[in-house]
């Protein structure tokens, strides 16, 4: 299942969770333990793929001639051997050798056997930083291998944020972020649920928290609309932009499935939602039913005029972005994103910002959020906007700190029209 999910994710472009959901649904006989192991393997492999590939390069006799399909099988087995104590090494070797033998014949099976046995003999040495420092040439190469991140991204972050912060972002990208929850304060049982959750919180705000772990009873509370699964870092960035000060109505112009739309709605704001993606809007409507809250939602015209009789007084743009701030939750992004995508996304954000500016009356607010660590989409995008749109001034801007401990990084800015 993990292998199939990785195929759908890396060869077919699906995001990792959608790929996993599909692979798990296609195997109805698999139990919850199998599904949990497949999830751990697929995410773990993607988080550590750079380091695993480097190790395979050192162990394979002809790394350049080894297909990506074989590398992926070896990489999954290597991940199990190095990181999953619960799976005995011989089982990982047997699985990989068996599958490679069936697909590619005895010779490749023997190669796989030799490589994985050599890895087992290293006896955990590749879990130590110095193992890689001694075998890489230069700091970028070391950081790229140890933190399992493409060199272009390491260079981008060092150039933009300096080495120390860049290393903190790289370290965070390898961790599993703490599960976050937002309690529905408009639900009659919301306050009681919040009190019940408080002892489990690693960090909390008025209605949200990062949890040490996700308790079983919370699944039912979520299904009953008492709470929503949402990262605490997401909730924090929104809080820091002081949405209580935004004039209403608020048009959430990139509402997607409504994660932030309903956060604003639960905070008592009058919100309208729109998105270019009709499927996500259907999910947003389903979210409204689950939470017992109504938000008017309509398909966005993209960059054209909005079909609105009255202008919103705030436009909230949770913009499509390169997602480089959420690699801990979406580790597939680092292997798919290119510098070119980032530039294209910055172009789209620019158009979205400029068209939102035209929609707002005097005194209106434009709130801009991304989940990326890329100045062209964040700080420089906002600076450019302020240069091109002299009617606006900056009210505040915020970026999740490298040391927040939440594992995810957001950028946000609030701009007001004079
Ligand atoms: C970061 S996601 C939004 C996530 C959502 N706000 C949430 O909290 O769940 C960006 C959204 O922008 C939408 N989008 C992409 N291009 C757009 C455009 N030109 N106009 C409006 N929305 C767009 C995407 O469909 C996607 O749902």
Helices (H), 105-146: 106-121, 129-133, 139-146
pLDDT at position 309 is 87
So what's the pLDDT on residue 23?
97
Residue 8: per-residue pLDDT: 97
The protein residue whose alpha carbon is closest to atom 3 in ligand 1 is 256
Helix (H) or strand (E) holding 295: none
Residue closest by Cα to atom 2 of ligand 1: 320
Assess if residue 133 is contained within a domain: no
Number of helices (H), then strands (E), belonging to the chain: the values are 17, 11
Q: What is the pLDDT of residues 320-370, one digit of tens each?
A: 999 999 999 999 999 999 999 999 999 999 999 999 999 999 999 999 999
| 330-336: long-range pairs with CB below 8 Å, 24+ | 330/15, 330/16, 331/16, 331/43, 331/46, 331/47, 331/49, 331/173, 332/9, 332/10, 332/15, 332/16, 332/46, 334/148, 334/149, 334/150, 334/153, 334/173, 335/10, 335/46, 335/49, 335/150, 336/10, 336/13
- Does 303 score more than 70 pLDDT? no
82 and 19 assigned to the same domain: yes
Task: Assess if residue 13 is contained within a domain.
Answer: yes
Residue 165 lies in a domain: yes
Q: Are residues 290 and 347 in the same domain?
A: yes
Read off the pLDDT of residues 214-248 as tens digits, 9 standing for 90 and up.
Answer: 999 999 999 999 999 999 999 999 999 999 999 99
Q: Is the pLDDT of residue 306 over 90?
A: no
Residue to probe by mutation, ligand 1, list 273, 276, 300, most atoms within 8 Å of CB: 276
Residue 185 is part of which domain span? Answer: 175-230
Active site residues: 371
| Of 17, 180, 256, best ligand 1 pocket probe by most atoms within 8 Å of the beta carbon | 256
Handedness of CA 238, 239, 240, 243 (dihedral sign): positive
Q: What are 275-290's pLDDT values in tens digits? A: 999 999 999 999 999 9
Indicate the number of domains in the chain.
4
How far apart CA 42 and CA 45 sit, in angstroms, is 5
Same domain, 372 and 383: yes
> Is 81 contained in some domain?
yes
Let me know whether 116 and 183 are in one domain: no
Distance (angstroms) between ligand 1 centre and the Cα of 254 equals 4
Tell me the sheet residues that pair with 228. Answer: 182
Do residue 387 and residue 307 come from a single domain?
yes
Q: What is the mean pLDDT of residues 159-181?
A: 97
* Residue 128 scores a pLDDT above 90: yes
Residue nearest atom 9 in ligand 1 by C-alpha distance? 259
Instruction: Please give all residues whose beta carbon lies within 6 A of any atom in ligand 1, as ranges.
Output: 253-260, 275-277, 280, 300, 302-303, 318, 320, 352
Residue 405 burial (10 A CB sphere; 0-12, 13-18, 19+): middle
Say how many Å lie between the CA of residue 264 and the centre of ligand 1: 16
Reported ipTM exceeds the 0.95 cut = yes
User: Is residue 132 a part of any domain in this protein?
Assistant: no
* Arithmetic mean of pLDDT, 162-171: 98
Q: Find the mean pLDDT for residues 20-48.
A: 95
The pLDDT, as a whole number, for residue 307 is 82
Q: Is the predicted pLDDT of residue 176 greater than 80, yes or no?
A: yes
Cα 255 to middle of ligand 1, angstroms: 6
Q: Are residues 265 and 398 in the same domain?
A: yes
Same domain, 255 and 400: yes
- CA-CA distance, 54 to 49, in Å (whole number)? 8
Q: What is the pLDDT of residue 242?
A: 98
So what's the pLDDT on residue 73? 97
- Answer yes or no: do 255 and 381 share one domain: yes
Residue 276 in domain = yes
CATH number at residue 207: 3.30.70
pLDDT of residue 301: 82
Give distance in angstroms: CA of 101 to centre of ligand 1. Answer: 44
pLDDT digits (tens, 9 = 90+) for 368-403: 999 999 999 999 999 999 999 999 999 999 999 999
Give 75-111 pLDDT, tens digit per residue: 999 999 999 999 999 999 999 999 999 999 999 999 9
């Amino acid at each position: 299942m993990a292998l199939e999910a990785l195929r759908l994710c890396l060869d077919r472009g699906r995001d990792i969770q959608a790929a996993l959901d599909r692979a798990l649904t296609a195997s109805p006989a698999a139990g919850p333990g199998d599904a949990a192991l497949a999830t751990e393997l697929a995410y773990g492999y993607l988080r550590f793929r750079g380091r695993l590939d480097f190790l395979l390069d050192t162990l394979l006799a002809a790394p350049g001639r080894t297909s990506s399909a074989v590398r992926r099988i070896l990489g999954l087995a290597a991940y199990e051997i190095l990181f999953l104590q619960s799976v005995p090494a011989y089982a990982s070797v047997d699985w990989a050798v068996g599958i490679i033998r069936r697909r590619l014949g005895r010779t490749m099976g023997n190669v796989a056997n030799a490589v994985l046995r050599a890895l087992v003999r290293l006896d955990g040495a590749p879990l130590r930083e110095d193992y890689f420092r001694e075998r890489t040439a230069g700091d970028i190469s070391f950081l790229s291998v140890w933190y399992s991140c493409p060199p272009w991204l390491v260079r981008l972050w060092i150039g933009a944020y300096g080495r120390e912060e860049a290393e903190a972002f790289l370290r965070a990208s390898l961790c599993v972020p703490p599960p976050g929850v937002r309690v529905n304060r408009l639900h009659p049982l919301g306050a009681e649920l919040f009190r019940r959750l408080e002892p489990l919180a690693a960090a909390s705000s008025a209605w949200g928290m990062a949890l040490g772990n996700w308790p079983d009873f919370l699944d039912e509370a979520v299904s009953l609309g008492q709470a929503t699964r949402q990262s605490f870092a997401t909730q924090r960035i929104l809080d820091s932009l002081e949405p209580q000060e935004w004039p209403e109505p608020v048009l959430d112009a990139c509402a997607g499935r409504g994660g932030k739309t309903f956060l604003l709605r639960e905070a008592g704001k009058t919100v309208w939602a729109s998105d270019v993606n009709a499927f996500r809007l259907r999910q947003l409507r389903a979210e409204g039913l689950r939470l017992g809250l109504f938000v008017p939602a309509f398909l966005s015209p993209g960059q054209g005029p909005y079909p609105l009789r009255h202008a919103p007084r705030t436009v909230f743009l949770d913009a499509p972005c390169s997602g480089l701030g959420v690699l801990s939750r979406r580790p597939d992004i680092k292997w798919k994103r290119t510098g070119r995508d980032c530039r294209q996304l910055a172009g789209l954000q620019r158009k979205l910002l400029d068209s939102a500016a035209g929609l707002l009356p005097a005194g209106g607010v434009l709130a801009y959020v991304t989940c990326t660590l890329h100045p062209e989409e964040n700080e420089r995008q906002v600076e450019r906007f302020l240069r091109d749109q002299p009617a606006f001034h900056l009210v505040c801007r915020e970026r999740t700190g490298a040391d927040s401990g939440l594992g995810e990084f957001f950028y946000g800015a609030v701009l007001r029209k004079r």
